[in-house]
Structure 1
Amino acid sequence: MKQYLLSIYQPDDTDPPDNLAEIMHDLETLNDEMRAAGAWVFAAGLHAPSSATVLRADGSDVLVTDGPYAEGKEHIGGFTVIRADDLDQALEWGRRLARVVTLPIEVRPLQDG
């Protein structure tokens, strides 16, 4: 089975939705369904982009800067790694995740290692 990254994109500088407890409950239910199906590998939420540190190689030196790599109107707020037989199956899990979190989901295959 291939592995896929389901990235959750959320807008910058927005307050949590009023129904966050319901969303988190539904997310845990979906994660349990993925576990039961053998699809769930792991998932995590991320701190705000302002907590990021960016490292850039510059010749023999590495520059260290605060903040996200790219400024934008949205950021990756969390992710799930799943196992799926093919892209269609990964997209179905991504659709279900999008309905639960009500945010855009990017589905991307991981390179075989």
Structure 2
Amino acid sequence: MKYMLMMHVGRDDGTEVLHWAPEDIRNMVEFQRAFDQELEDSGEMVFNAGLGWPDQARIVRSDDGAAVVTDGPFPEGREFLIGFWVVDCDSEERAYAIAAKASSSPGPGGAPTGVPIEVRPLAGPPPVDA
């Protein structure tokens, strides 16, 4: 089964990482690379990516077939999606274990950040006769 693991950070601490000591940033990046490699080696990694900051996001809607583009996401939101993994694993429990490891990424001083990771199964398209 495929799952999407989404890493959300708060608006107040989303850019906090930019003020970490260089060694702390290096430790976090090394953890992420090793974590991603572990998922690659186990065959569970489908795809992953980090995302740009919210000020780079745009909301697009169709208006009589024309694209209407506005800034987004909404500024009142307290959290935003900073990155994600799509994994293919045997069980929901395994998806939770992978998410827990992602959440343990080191922060300042090496302490685990405990960043929330949302886990959702990929549903796929509805049946044609739905």
Report the TM-score when normalising by structure 2. Answer: 0.76
> What CA RMSD, in Å, does the superposition of the two structures yield over aligned residues?
1.9
1:54–1:69 Cα contact (<8 Å) kept? no
Q: Distance in 2 between matches of 1:63 and 1:106?
A: 29
Structure 2 SS opposite 1:30: helix
Partner residue of 2:34? 29
- Of residues 76, 89, 98, the one that matches 1:71 is 76
Other-structure match for 1:98: 103
- Deviations along 1:6-57, one digit per CA (max 9) or x if unpaired, are 1011122532133121011011111111111110111111111111110134
CA–CA distance in structure 2, aligned partners of residues 24 and 34 of structure 1: 15
Tell me the residue number matched to 1:15: 16
In the alignment, what sits opposite 1:107? 119
Quote the sequence identity (%).
32
Task: Give the partner amino acid of 1:71.
Answer: E
Question: Could you report, residue by residue, the CA deviation over 1:69-109 in whole angstroms, capped at 9, with x for unpaired residues?
Answer: 57312100011111011111111100111112621110111
Give the match's secondary structure for 1:81.
strand
1:70 to 1:58, Cα distance in 2 relative to 1, 3 A:
farther
Q: Decide which moves more: 60-69 or 100-109.
A: 60-69
Counterpart secondary structure, 1:54: strand
Structure 2: segments with no counterpart, 5+ residues: 107-112, 126-130
Larger Rg: 2
Between 1:9-18 and 1:82-91, the stretch displaced more is 9-18
Specify the SS of the correspondent of 1:47.
coil
TM-score by length of 1: 0.86
2:16 counterpart letter in structure 1 = D
What is the CA–CA distance in structure 1 between the aligned matches of 2:9 and 2:92, rounded to whole Å? Answer: 23
5+ residue gaps, structure 1: none
Deviation at 1:66, TM superposition (A): 1.3
State the distance in 1 between where 2:68 and 2:28 align.
39
